[in-house]
Chain A
Amino acid sequence: MRAPVIEVENLTYIYRPYGIVALEDVSLEIKEGEFVAIIGRNGSGKTTLLKNIVGLLKPTQGRVLVEGVDISRSTVAELATRVGLVLQNPDQQLFSQTVEEEIAFGPRNLGLPESEVESRVEEAIALLGLERFRHEFPLALSIGDRARVVIASVLAMRPHIILLDEPTMGQDYRGHREIMSIAERLHRDGYTVVIATHHVDLVAEYAQRVIVLCEGRVLLDDTPAAVFSQPEVLRRTHMAPPQITRLAQALPPSLELPRDVLTVEELGEAVLELLHN
Chain B
Amino acid sequence: MVAKEFQETPQIVIRDVSYRYPDAEDYALEGLNLTIHKGEFVAILGEHLAGKSTFCQLLNGIIPNFKGGELEGSVLVCGLDTQDVSVAELARKVGIVLQDPEAQLFTTKVINEVAFGPENLGLEREEILRRVRWALKVVGLEGMEDRPPPSLSGGQKQRLAIAAALAMRPEVLVLDEATSQLDPVGTEEVFSVVRRLNREYEVTIIMSTHKSEEVARFADRILVIHQGRLIAQGTPQEIFRDTELLRRAAIRPPQVSELANYLEAHSLRMLEFPITIEQAKRGIEQLFAGV
Q: B251-285 vs A: 1/0 string, CB under 8 Å?
A: 11011101100110010100000000100110011
Count contacts on B: residues with CB < 8 A to the other chain. Answer: 37
Known: A172-B47, A250-B277, A267-B259. A240 touches B184 (CB 8 A): yes
| Across-interface contacts of A159 in B (CB, < 8 A) | none
Known: A42-B186, A142-B48, A252-B285. A169 touches B259 (CB 8 A): no
Q: Are A239 and B287 in contact (CB under 8 A)?
A: no
The answer to whether B154 has its CB under 8 Å from any CB of chain A is yes
The answer to whether A217 has its CB under 8 Å from any CB of chain B is no
Q: Are A271 and B255 in contact (CB under 8 A)?
A: no
Q: Are A247 and B153 in contact (CB under 8 A)?
A: no
Per the bound structure, the CA–CA distance linking A246 and B277 in Å amounts to 8
| Across-interface contacts of A246 in B (CB, < 8 A) | 277
> Which of A40, A144, A268 is B48 in contact with, Cβ under 8 Å?
A144
Q: Are B252 and A244 in contact (CB under 8 A)?
A: no
| Across-interface contacts of B202 in A (CB, < 8 A) | none
The answer to whether B129 has its CB under 8 Å from any CB of chain A is no
Shortest beta-carbon distance from B286 to chain A in Å: 11
| Across-interface contacts of B255 in A (CB, < 8 A) | 201, 242-244, 247, 264
The answer to whether A251 has its CB under 8 Å from any CB of chain B is yes
The answer to whether B2 has its CB under 8 Å from any CB of chain A is no
Which of B180, B182, B213, B259 neighbours the largest number of chain A CB atoms within 10 Å of its CB? B259
Known: A169-B99, A238-B185, A239-B183. A247 touches B259 (CB 8 A): yes
> Which of B49, B177, B210, B288 is A173 in contact with, Cβ under 8 Å?
B210
Shortest beta-carbon distance from B114 to chain A in Å: 22
Q: Are A172 and B288 in contact (CB under 8 A)?
A: no
Which of B210, B251, B255 neighbours the largest number of chain A CB atoms within 10 Å of its CB? B255
Per the bound structure, the CA–CA distance linking A178 and B160 in Å amounts to 33
Per the bound structure, the CA–CA distance linking A8 and B209 in Å amounts to 37
Q: A235-277 vs B: 1/0 string, CB under 8 Å?
A: 0001110111011001110010100000011011001101100
| Across-interface contacts of A170 in B (CB, < 8 A) | 48, 99, 177, 180
| Across-interface contacts of B154 in A (CB, < 8 A) | 42-43
The answer to whether A208 has its CB under 8 Å from any CB of chain B is no
Q: Are B268 and A275 in contact (CB under 8 A)?
A: yes
Q: Are B250 and A173 in contact (CB under 8 A)?
A: yes
Per the bound structure, the CA–CA distance linking A173 and B100 in Å amounts to 18
List B211-258 residues whose CB lies under 8 Å from chain A: 213, 250-252, 254-256, 258
> Which of B181, B210, B256 is A172 in contact with, Cβ under 8 Å?
B210
Shortest beta-carbon distance from A220 to chain B in Å: 16
Shortest beta-carbon distance from B215 to chain A in Å: 12
Shortest beta-carbon distance from B161 to chain A in Å: 15
| Across-interface contacts of B100 in A (CB, < 8 A) | 169
Which of A172, A175, A267 neighbours the largest number of chain B CB atoms within 10 Å of its CB? A172
The answer to whether A53 has its CB under 8 Å from any CB of chain B is no
| Across-interface contacts of B254 in A (CB, < 8 A) | 243
Per the bound structure, the CA–CA distance linking A274 and B254 in Å amounts to 23
Q: Are A174 and B285 in contact (CB under 8 A)?
A: no
The answer to whether A198 has its CB under 8 Å from any CB of chain B is yes
| Across-interface contacts of A240 in B (CB, < 8 A) | 184
Shortest beta-carbon distance from A241 to chain B in Å: 10
Per the bound structure, the CA–CA distance linking A133 and B120 in Å amounts to 46
Shortest beta-carbon distance from B252 to chain A in Å: 4
Q: Are B181 and A169 in contact (CB under 8 A)?
A: yes
| Across-interface contacts of B281 in A (CB, < 8 A) | 247, 250-251
Q: Are B262 and A265 in contact (CB under 8 A)?
A: yes
Q: Are A264 and B258 in contact (CB under 8 A)?
A: yes
Per the bound structure, the CA–CA distance linking A169 and B256 in Å amounts to 26
**Nearest opposing residue in chain B for A18, CB measure:** B151
Per the bound structure, the CA–CA distance linking A271 and B183 in Å amounts to 31
**Nearest opposing residue in chain A for B100, CB measure:** A169
Per the bound structure, the CA–CA distance linking A56 and B15 in Å amounts to 52
Q: Are B181 and A168 in contact (CB under 8 A)?
A: yes
Q: Are B183 and A268 in contact (CB under 8 A)?
A: no
List A129-168 residues whose CB lies under 8 Å from chain B: 142-144, 168
Q: Are B268 and A272 in contact (CB under 8 A)?
A: yes
The answer to whether A41 has its CB under 8 Å from any CB of chain B is yes
Q: Are B266 and A172 in contact (CB under 8 A)?
A: no
The answer to whether A171 has its CB under 8 Å from any CB of chain B is yes
Shortest beta-carbon distance from A78 to chain B in Å: 34
20 sample A-B contacts, Cβ–Cβ < 8 Å, listed by A number: A42-B182, A143-B48, A144-B48, A168-B181, A169-B100, A170-B177, A172-B210, A173-B210, A173-B250, A173-B251, A238-B184, A239-B183, A243-B256, A244-B255, A247-B281, A250-B281, A264-B258, A265-B262, A271-B268, A272-B268
Q: A42-B182, A172-B48 are in contact. List 9 more A-B contacts (CB 8 A).
A: A41-B183, A41-B186, A42-B153, A142-B48, A143-B48, A169-B181, A252-B285, A257-B284, A271-B287
By Cβ-Cβ distance, the 8 closest A-B pairs, closest first, are A238-B185, A268-B262, A244-B255, A172-B48, A42-B154, A243-B255, A41-B183, A173-B252
